[in-house]
Structure 1
């Protein structure tokens, strides 16, 4: 790449052509396939003109500012842009990324907190959406609301990366390979290896260093990131058990509760659940904000509720509990004491 001639347009004070060249380099280096030759070529481009280096530094600073929101944004946009063909689609992707990075990165993410998740993912679901996939190896995935996964099934190891949300996995036999290839499920905190099983993995929201695994059949080995240096921190979770894990360890294993995993069938099951916890779970499946007044937070909810209509569930609450439901709009609902 060489420096383009001066452009009459700019993005955030940086020549638009240079900004887009910098993004092209960033995309290629962030793809995971960068060679030493490519890295050296990028260094030469940066050294060719002070504006090149200035644009590059701007991207690095933007990436650092956003790590707490999205992980490494560079990897996210690289995956998205590299999937676009070298055509108008690719050019438009790079142009859009440049605009985001040089003219308001923070605003872009703040207005669409799932945008980076969608860029990084091969498959994702929206608010209140569940989606079922059957992979070539026979594995079945059910993605819960606001979830995203990245798939790598072509190598010696089958890999499912959970970027956000929750997924139910029924492992396939990988009939085309003998012996079957290992299947790994990777989250931000740990690597899980199922052993002929059906299980669910949930990753906490942005900034939450925690995940959960629930095993319905077989067993799952959970190896936190720390187990790379301490093999003793890995743990096997068996059928009928669940565990919370962080990047450091696996918390105490407990028994599954009634209704765990019911979301895969479009239901939420509450068994003597606190009202505030029930509303927090329900909020995952609807847009907007549901507030629980502390005065009623400790009330208990039991029952099985279809997730297809969360408004109907909220409307039902005053018939079952001494509460009121006040709506400014359907996107701002407060559950409080009955007046």
Structure 2
């Protein structure tokens, strides 16, 4: 009897699907120890959605056992046993293998989860804790935050950048051929006018902060309505249908480009959500301390030190189940 995909009819959030793949790649990298394997098991047990994402990969692999699947991948997916290959599969190659298997599996589940697999295939991407800057053919610069991905498509008529996930900081260059520069997100398109700006892809919306020049926003489903133009110092979110009210641009939101996380009265839960983008595994926040406020500038090069600082300055304790499974909760009296 053919293996049945237990999660095929139940949607899984893109972020959870992405985590499942990251854990899988970590397991088969040849560097995973007992702590990593225990963290994977804890992640799977933490929520039924996690297990559905994991089981989908196992089901697809079971259907394709006849394909040339690297043995460490098969072991990691199906048996949850330590993979000890003679030559560990490089993580980039492993990611492509996983993406290929999932695409081969097809079905409704994958249709709902297209974003994670597009990330692995993007022209430029960053993993957890990575940041990079690329220079495009026209001289424009694009900085990618942790866990971000973009596709680049230059043609004779336009310069197009598609933000697949995460957030980017863009400084556009003048084009000799006067081609328009376009940044596409899931909700619409942006046309910068000689500018420096940031774009972040959220679930169901995009956010733009303009620091120099101006940016025209055209939501995907706005029809013939004129675009909304943001000037330097302005910020706005937009959905596929409309642009929200303009607010002041947040310069602190792009401190990551300088390797920093800057907070000014930020909720602890929101601060940890941002910090969690820069470290592997799960970083949780107990509801009892979620509304504590955090201020300061924190170097992202050492996320463990940031947690130590929180413990020293707030009434919280940092609870480590493993190195990859951390929660912040009220300090014991």
Distance 1:217 1:321, change over 3 A: same
Q: Does 1:116 align with 2:111?
A: no
Q: Does 1:209 align with 2:201?
A: no
Task: Give distance in 1, aligned partners of 2:99 and 2:269.
Answer: 39
Distance 1:319 1:123, change over 3 A: same
Q: Could you say which residue in structure 1 is the equivalent of 2:154? A: 153
Q: In the TM superposition, what whole-angstrom CA distance separates every residue of 1:133-178 from its partner, at most 9, and x where no partner exists?
A: 1111110000111111111113211100111111110001123x2x
Task: Give distance in 2, aligned partners of 1:157 and 1:277.
Answer: 37
Q: Could you say which residue in structure 1 is the equivalent of 2:225? A: 231
Distance 1:107 1:127, change over 3 A: farther
Q: What is the RMSD of the two structures over their aligned residues, measured on CA atoms?
A: 3.3
1:1-339 correspondence to structure 2 within 5 Å: 69=14, 99-101=101-103, 103=105, 114-119=116-121, 121-175=122-176, 177=177, 180-204=178-202, 208-227=203-222, 229-232=223-226, 234-339=227-332
Question: How far 1:225 moved relative to its partner?
Answer: 0.7
Task: Give distance in 2, aligned partners of 1:113 and 1:96.
Answer: 14
Greater CA radius of gyration, 1 or 2? 1
Unmatched runs of 5 consecutive residues or more in structure 1: 1-11, 14-61, 71-92
Q: In the TM superposition, what whole-angstrom CA distance separates every residue of 1:39-90 from its partner, at most 9, and x where no partner exists?
A: xxxxxxxxxxxxxxxxxxxxxxx8x9889759xxxxxxxxxxxxxxxxxxxx
Contact map agreement 2:182 2:191 (CA 8 A) in 1? yes
SS at match of 1:264: helix
Distance 1:105 1:288, change over 3 A: farther
Question: How far 1:287 moved relative to its partner?
Answer: 1.3
Question: How far 1:239 moved relative to its partner?
Answer: 0.7
SS at match of 1:295: helix
Question: How far 1:216 moved relative to its partner?
Answer: 0.6
Task: Give distance in 2, aligned partners of 1:107 and 1:154.
Answer: 34
Contact map agreement 1:258 1:269 (CA 8 A) in 2? no
Task: Give distance in 2, aligned partners of 1:321 and 1:67.
Answer: 35
SS at match of 1:261: helix
Question: How far 1:289 moved relative to its partner?
Answer: 1.1
Question: How far 1:302 moved relative to its partner?
Answer: 0.4
Q: In the TM superposition, what whole-angstrom CA distance separates every residue of 1:253-311 from its partner, at most 9, and x where no partner exists?
A: 10023523111111110001111111111111111111111111111100001111111
Runs of 4+ in 1 over 2 A off after TM superposition: 64-70, 93-116
Contact map agreement 1:200 1:261 (CA 8 A) in 2? yes
Contact map agreement 2:190 2:216 (CA 8 A) in 1? yes
How many residues matched?
250
Task: Give distance in 1, aligned partners of 2:98 and 2:321.
Answer: 35
Question: How far 1:116 moved relative to its partner?
Answer: 3.4
Task: Give distance in 2, aligned partners of 1:94 and 1:261.
Answer: 30
Unmatched runs of 5 consecutive residues or more in structure 2: 16-94
Q: In the TM superposition, what whole-angstrom CA distance separates every residue of 1:192-212 from its partner, at most 9, and x where no partner exists?
A: 0000100010111xxx21110
Please report the TM-score for the alignment, with normalisation by the length of structure 2: 0.68
Please report the TM-score for the alignment, with normalisation by the length of structure 1: 0.66
